[in-house]
Amino acid sequence: MYKVMIADDEPLFRYYMRSKLDWSGQGFTICCEAANGREALEEAKRYVPDLALIDISMPYMNGLELAEKLKVNVPGLLIVFVTGHNEFEYAQKALRLGVHDYLLKPFDQREFVSMMEKVRATLRLREEAALLKREAGGNEGPWRTIVEQAAQKARALFNESSALSEQGAPLVGHELHPGTHETLLMALKMRDHEAAMDEIGQTIALFRVRRTGDRFAFTVLMSYVSLCLSYAGGIGMNPESLWKPAASPEQRLREMVSWEETEGWISGMYHKVIEYRPDGRPSKSYNLFLAAKDYIHRHYSDPELTVDQVASGMYVDSSYLRKVFRKEGAIAVLDYITYIRMKQAKELLAEGNVKLAEIAERVGYADPNYFSKSFKKHYGMPPSEFEQREIRIRQTGK
């Protein structure tokens, strides 16, 4: 569970945030609260939360001042302003200063879930990058500054855009694809080029039918590029070859003249990173990794599928198979089984007119309720909501 601090001088609002929102369902827990800026700074130092939800107007120290001090005293803390419409300009200013996001009061459950999805994706990406860095011996190339700057600019533009196209039609990030960044990161880890291509292709197809404004589309796609480049650096690959001869990945994306070229470049980038191997050729463990993945693809619908069963199918010890998955994919075998099941469930839901119980059974879940909980945990929304979202997207595209 990620830790959250709530800082707001209104007791009733703190109570609402604490008791009326589904924190555990989003993977978070509230570790501390504060009624003013000074108290928030001390509480943050004491509990070291992962996320701070801060009101701008607070006594003793306002939200902007607090944010600046928190960035110094609690490095890596994600900050989200929760504020009223009359302070909207301050919230936008805060984004330019490095605050992660903002919520405008009053907000509904959908807006809350959408924001928490972005926060969770950022925190997970940080964890994965830290793990990859440790496994690579802590080496960082000169490319990292360029990649991080591009990622920061993309996040800032994404937040400032308020998810509106240039034509003025609402295009909420939640409406694109739930858990897209998690899916792309998993595709990189699991060397699943098909999954990456599918996710990128669906996003660009949606931009086409919605006639999305260039600013918003660039922001979303730049976040995909930044994710891929960050991962490439983490596994020891020099990402500069992926955007050269342009001066930066940001410039390379701006040079694209069509949706087809854009999709080809980004998908090609993911393919190069997925296929990258430091020694230049597949090892025995990598071949076993591929064979085990294939076995799981053929047996994921079996609700009794276990690590031991997969290992037996590969004629290896289960502990050795776990080590291979950690080495080649930085993931547990059971997590990969869940990943495949959720991926197939999403495809079945997108088709429509398939009963939930049938989908659950087809992807290896004997209990439809447990399947629904797993799907929501993975994608941030229940299966029924995902299916309705797909229907809205198809209707928009007609």
Q: Is the bond into 59 cis (omega within 30 degrees of 0)?
A: no
Q: Is the bond into 239 cis (omega within 30 degrees of 0)?
A: no
Give the pLDDT of residue 279: 67
Measured N-to-C along each axis, helices 214-234 and 193-210 cross at an angle, to the nearest 10 degrees, of 170
Give the pLDDT of residue 47: 92
Distance CA 48, CA 240 (A): 35
Of the listed ranges 42-46, 86-90, 206-210, the one predicted with least confidence: 86-90
- Give the phi and the psi of residue 6 in degrees, each rounded to 5: -110, 125
Contact 384, 356 (CB under 8 A): yes
Mean pLDDT, rounded, for 256-277: 90
Give the pLDDT of residue 261: 92
| pTM of the predicted structure, to 2 decimals | 0.56
User: Is the per-residue pLDDT at 192 higher than 80?
Assistant: yes
User: Is the per-residue pLDDT at 19 higher than 90?
Assistant: no
Q: Which of 112-116, 207-211, 306-310 is the most confident on average?
A: 306-310
Measured N-to-C along each axis, helices 37-47 and 63-73 cross at an angle, to the nearest 10 degrees, of 20
Give the pLDDT of residue 373: 87
Contact 239, 233 (CB under 8 A): yes
Mean pLDDT, rounded, for 394-398: 57
Give the pLDDT of residue 360: 94
Measured N-to-C along each axis, helices 259-275 and 193-210 cross at an angle, to the nearest 10 degrees, of 160
Q: pLDDT (tens digit, 9 = 90+) per residue, 87-137?
A: 555 555 555 555 667 777 767 777 788 778 878 877 877 776 666 555 555
Distance CA 265, CA 259 (A): 10
In DSSP terms, 244 is beta-bridged to none
Contact 288, 316 (CB under 8 A): yes
Q: Which letter does DSSP use for residue 366 in this model?
A: S
Torsion of the alpha carbons at 252, 187, 141 and 124, rounded to the nearest 10: 110
Contact 162, 171 (CB under 8 A): no
Mean pLDDT, all residues of the chain: 78
User: Is the per-residue pLDDT at 365 higher than 90?
Assistant: yes
Q: Give the H/E segment covering residue 102.
A: strand 101-105
Give the pLDDT of residue 43: 93
Q: pLDDT (tens digit, 9 = 90+) per residue, 157-189?
A: 444 443 433 333 333 333 455 567 777 887 888
Task: Give all domains of the chain, ordered by start, each with its CATH number.
Answer: 2-107 (3.40.50.2300), 121-275 (no CATH), 284-397 (1.10.10.60)
Residue type, 389: R
Neighbours of 308 (CB within 10 A): 12
pLDDT tier, 329 (very low <50, low <70, confident <90, very high otherwise): confident
For the chain, give percent helix, strand, coil, nearest 5: 65, 10, 25
User: Is the per-residue pLDDT at 215 higher than 60?
Assistant: yes
Give the pLDDT of residue 171: 39
Distance CA 172, CA 331 (A): 31
Contact 297, 344 (CB under 8 A): no
